[in-house]
């Protein structure tokens, strides 16, 4: 063991724990660049990846990145103990899974724990996830990995007997349902500590939408205060460290479009906030992630079975997902539409129906009768709006916020129909791509407003949609993407050909179920 003096590098690696050693010290430890060391300080220790230098860090010193500094609460000149890190035992279990061996709880726990503590390299984590993709997990392993993901993260303890939740596996643009469901359910007296994700491939995640209404980056203690007062909250899950292993797994899964940990990922986060009653929305249809009712029912069955074993009562609702929900896509546009609906200024049939179905189902599962009707009443009598404003207030937003206060992008472009007939279909993927070119999810005011939905009659010259962007250059990008893509089709009822394929294309979309 070497004793080395800390020198802050003031560098942020974006996740990995990096330490810089002088070549002489790394030689003495028998560790090369890219090798792993254990750094000990007081009673804490972390494993870090080594970078080496001949000059910047002298013999007897250790340069630390911000991630190491924060993890061990180190300061310049602190002394730390440093040893070569042994190969983690969990690597043996990963090899076991590669060979098809079933893993025990203890083994899974060690893998997950080592993932969280940076003891496994990116490559090793990627191989584990890929092995799961091929070998699969049986029910017991799925339960065990869900539990391990909860135990290696923070948890929210509300001390309530019933804690409800909702989750959508996503894939439908414009789905602002959660912004209605949470206030409805909370207004009815149920506890719903909702944490949401940001968009990865979509135009807006619930956290992105909600952030235009109120702050969503809360600590778990702040979240607890809000829920104790208002019965509900809408916060970003990323700041809560509820299932830190999952945040690492998803970084690996996403670029590869594989998703072997979908169920453990979702349910571990629900379990971590103490939910024991959950409605899962499975959008289904052309342009959604789940294409057939059979697939949807298969997935629903898996959710329910796993839920039972984790003591979470689950109902799944398979919803129509072949076109956007409501008429807007993009964080601020969607938040505005949700606010207008909850205030009764407008009434989007599909949005209201979906929100009250889900809220109603949650109510029905927990002692209410005719939940759908109660949910509708709660919207109509202003209780839901009142609750939303309470949550906005408690999370630090402006309780008097009006729809027109939301900043919508000022660069705009209208698209009108050049023929007449019906709106035959809408292409979800194309709309998302256009919205992202316009700047979503980063530019909160960017997005799309639709004027027609599938089945609507369209006259020549009718407005089909408006593009919104915060920057003119992005509006141009969005317009050219829209012009080269098939976003929607106006035609007669019998125009069957959707497109002709004339050359091989190898493009595969970025696509992952939300969690």
Residue 205, φ and ψ in degrees, nearest 5:
-100, 165
Distance CA 215, CA 236 (A): 9
Q: By CB under 8 A, which span of 30-38, 185-193, 281-289, 427-435 interacts with its own copies? A: 30-38
Distance CA 336, CA 179 (A): 10
Q: Are strands 18-22 and 44-53 parallel, antiparallel or unpaired?
A: parallel
What is the CB neighbour count within 10 angstroms for residue 316? 22
Distance CA 195, CA 515 (A): 10
Provide CB contacts within 8 A for 140, sequence distance 6+: 102
Please pick, from the candidates 4, 6, 7, 9, the single residue that binds its own copies as defined by CB under 8 A.
9
State the nearest-atom distance from the C-beta of 15 to its own copies, in Å: 6
State the nearest-atom distance from the C-beta of 253 to its own copies, in Å: 9
SS3 of 240, please?
A: coil
Closer to its own copies by CB, 12 or 456: give it. 12
Distance CA 248, CA 257 (A): 15
Q: By CB under 8 A, which span of 142-150, 197-205, 422-430, 501-509 interacts with its own copies? A: 501-509
- Kindly state whether residue 3 participates in binding its own copies, applying the rule CB under 8 A: no
Q: By CB under 8 A, which span of 26-34, 270-278, 308-316, 495-503 interacts with its own copies? A: 26-34
Per-residue string for binding with its own copies, 52-71, x by CB under 8 A? xxxxx--------x------
How distant, in Å, are the alpha carbons of 4, 6, 30, 119 from that of 19? 12, 10, 15, 14
Closer to its own copies by CB, 60 or 255: give it. 255
Q: By CB under 8 A, which span of 252-260, 278-286, 334-342, 427-435 interacts with its own copies? A: 252-260
Query: Which stretches does DSSP call E strand in 227-311?
Result: 232-236, 277-284
- Kindly state whether residue 125 participates in binding its own copies, applying the rule CB under 8 A: yes
Per-residue string for binding with its own copies, 134-173, x by CB under 8 A? xx--------------------------------------
Which residue(s) pair with 282 in the sheet? 318
- Kindly state whether residue 480 participates in binding its own copies, applying the rule CB under 8 A: no
Please pick, from the candidates 85, 91, 284, 317, the single residue that binds its own copies as defined by CB under 8 A.
91
Closer to its own copies by CB, 107 or 141: give it. 107
Please pick, from the candidates 24, 59, 77, 89, the single residue that binds its own copies as defined by CB under 8 A.
89
Alpha helices in 31-138 (DSSP H): 66-72, 90-98, 105-116, 122-135
- Kindly state whether residue 290 participates in binding its own copies, applying the rule CB under 8 A: no
Residue pair 319/351 in contact (Cβ under 8 Å)? The answer is no
Annotation marks residue 259 as catalytic? yes
- Kindly state whether residue 257 participates in binding its own copies, applying the rule CB under 8 A: yes
State the nearest-atom distance from the C-beta of 474 to its own copies, in Å: 11
Query: Which stretches does DSSP call E strand in 286-434?
Result: 313-320, 328-329, 411-416, 421-426
What is the CB neighbour count within 10 angstroms for residue 53? 15
Of the residues 259, 281, 357, 443, only one is catalytic, namely: 259
Q: By CB under 8 A, which span of 133-141, 218-226, 407-415, 423-431 interacts with its own copies? A: 133-141
Distance CA 327, CA 448 (A): 8
Please pick, from the candidates 2, 5, 11, 238, the single residue that binds its own copies as defined by CB under 8 A.
11
Please pick, from the candidates 127, 152, 178, 277, the single residue that binds its own copies as defined by CB under 8 A.
127
State the nearest-atom distance from the C-beta of 49 to its own copies, in Å: 8
User: Do you find a cis peptide bond into 90, omega within 30 degrees of 0?
Assistant: no
Which residue(s) pair with 328 in the sheet? 449
Please pick, from the candidates 86, 255, 301, 455, the single residue that binds its own copies as defined by CB under 8 A.
255
Please pick, from the candidates 92, 298, 345, 370, the single residue that binds its own copies as defined by CB under 8 A.
92
- Kindly state whether residue 1 participates in binding its own copies, applying the rule CB under 8 A: no
With vertex at residue 291, the alpha carbon angle to CA 138 and CA 314, rounded to the nearest 5 degrees, is 50
Lateral strand order in the sheet of 488-491: 457-458, 421-426, 488-491
Closer to its own copies by CB, 253 or 281: give it. 253
**Total residues binding its own copies (CB under 8 A):** 56
How distant, in Å, are the alpha carbons of 1, 14, 61, 266, 480 from that of 39? 10, 19, 12, 33, 52
Residue pair 267/312 in contact (Cβ under 8 Å)? The answer is yes
Please pick, from the candidates 10, 138, 456, 495, the single residue that binds its own copies as defined by CB under 8 A.
10
Distance CA 216, CA 207 (A): 7
Q: By CB under 8 A, which span of 92-100, 181-189, 225-233, 285-293 interacts with its own copies? A: 92-100
For residue 118, the 8-state DSSP code is T
- Kindly state whether residue 473 participates in binding its own copies, applying the rule CB under 8 A: no
Q: By CB under 8 A, which span of 122-130, 331-339, 363-371, 450-458 interacts with its own copies? A: 122-130
State the nearest-atom distance from the C-beta of 283 to its own copies, in Å: 23
Please pick, from the candidates 186, 223, 252, 365, the single residue that binds its own copies as defined by CB under 8 A.
252
- Kindly state whether residue 109 participates in binding its own copies, applying the rule CB under 8 A: no
Distance CA 31, CA 10 (A): 23
Distance CA 65, CA 82 (A): 15
Closest listed residue to residue 65, CA positions, set 84, 46, 81, 83? 46
Q: Which residues are catalytic?
A: 259
- Using CB under 8 A as the criterion, which residues of the chain lie in contact with its own copies when the complex forms? 9-16, 20, 30, 32-35, 50-56, 65, 87, 89, 91-96, 98, 107, 121-127, 129-131, 133-135, 251-252, 255-258, 442, 506-508, 510
């Amino acid at each position: 063991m070497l004793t080395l003096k800390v020198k802050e590098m003031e560098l942020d690696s974006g996740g990995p724990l990096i330490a810089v050693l002088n070549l002489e010290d790394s030689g003495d430890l028998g560790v090369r660049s890219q090798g792993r060391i254990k750094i000990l300080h007081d009673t804490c220790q972390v494993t870090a990846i080594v970078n080496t230098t001949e000059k910047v860090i002298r013999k007897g010193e250790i340069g630390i990145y911000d991630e190491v500094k924060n993890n061990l609460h180190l300061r310049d000149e602190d002394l730390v103990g440093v040893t070569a890190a042994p190969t983690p035992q969990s690597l043996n279990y990963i090899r076991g899974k590669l060979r098809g061996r079933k893993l025990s709880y203890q083994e899974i726990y060690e893998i997950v724990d080592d993932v969280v503590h940076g003891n496994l390299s990116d490559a090793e984590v990627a191989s584990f996830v890929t092995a799961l993709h091929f070998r699969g997990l049986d029910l017991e392993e799925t339960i065990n990995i869900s539990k391990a993901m909860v135990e290696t993260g923070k948890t929210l303890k509300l001390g309530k007997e019933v804690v409800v939740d909702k989750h959508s596996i996503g894939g439908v643009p414009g789905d602002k349902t959660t912004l209605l469901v949470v206030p409805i359910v909370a207004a009815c007296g149920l506890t719903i500590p909702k944490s949401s994700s940001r968009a990865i491939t979509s135009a807006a995640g619930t956290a992105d939408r909600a952030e235009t209404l109120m702050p969503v980056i809360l600590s778990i203690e702040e979240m607890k205060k809000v829920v104790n007062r208002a019965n509900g909250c809408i916060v970003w899950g990323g700041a809560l460290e509820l299932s830190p292993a999952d945040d690492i797994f998803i970084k690996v899964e996403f670029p590869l479009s594989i998703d072997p940990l979908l169920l453990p990922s979702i349910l571990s986060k629900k379990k971590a906030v103490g939910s024991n009653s959950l409605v899962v929305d499975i959008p289904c249809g052309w342009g959604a992630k789940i294409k057939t009712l059979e697939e949807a029912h298969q997935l629903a069955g898996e959710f329910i079975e796993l839920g039972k074993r984790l003591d979470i009562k689950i109902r799944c609702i398979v919803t129509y997902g072949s076109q956007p929900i409501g008429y807007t896509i993009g964080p601020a546009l969607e938040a505005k539409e949700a606010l207008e609906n909850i205030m009764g200024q407008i009434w989007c049939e599909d949005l209201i129906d979906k929100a009250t179905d889900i809220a109603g189902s949650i109510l029905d599962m927990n002692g209410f009768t005719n939940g759908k009707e109660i949910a509708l009443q709660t919207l109509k009598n202003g209780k839901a709006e009142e609750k939303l404003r309470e949550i906005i207030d408690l999370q630090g937003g402006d309780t008097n916020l009006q729809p027109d206060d939301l900043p919508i992008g000022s660069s705009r472009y209208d698209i009108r129909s050049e023929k007449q007939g019906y709106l035959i279909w809408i292409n979800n993927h194309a709309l998302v791509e256009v919205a992202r070119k316009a700047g979503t999810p980063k530019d909160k005011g960017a997005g799309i407003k639709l004027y027609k939905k599938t089945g609507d009659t369209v006259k020549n010259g009718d407005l089909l949609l408006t593009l919104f962007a915060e920057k003119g250059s992005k509006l141009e990008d969005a317009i050219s993407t829209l012009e080269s893509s098939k976003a929607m089709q106006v035609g007669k009822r019998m125009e069957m050909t959707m497109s002709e394929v004339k050359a091989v294309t190898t493009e595969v979309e970025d696509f992952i179920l939300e969690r």
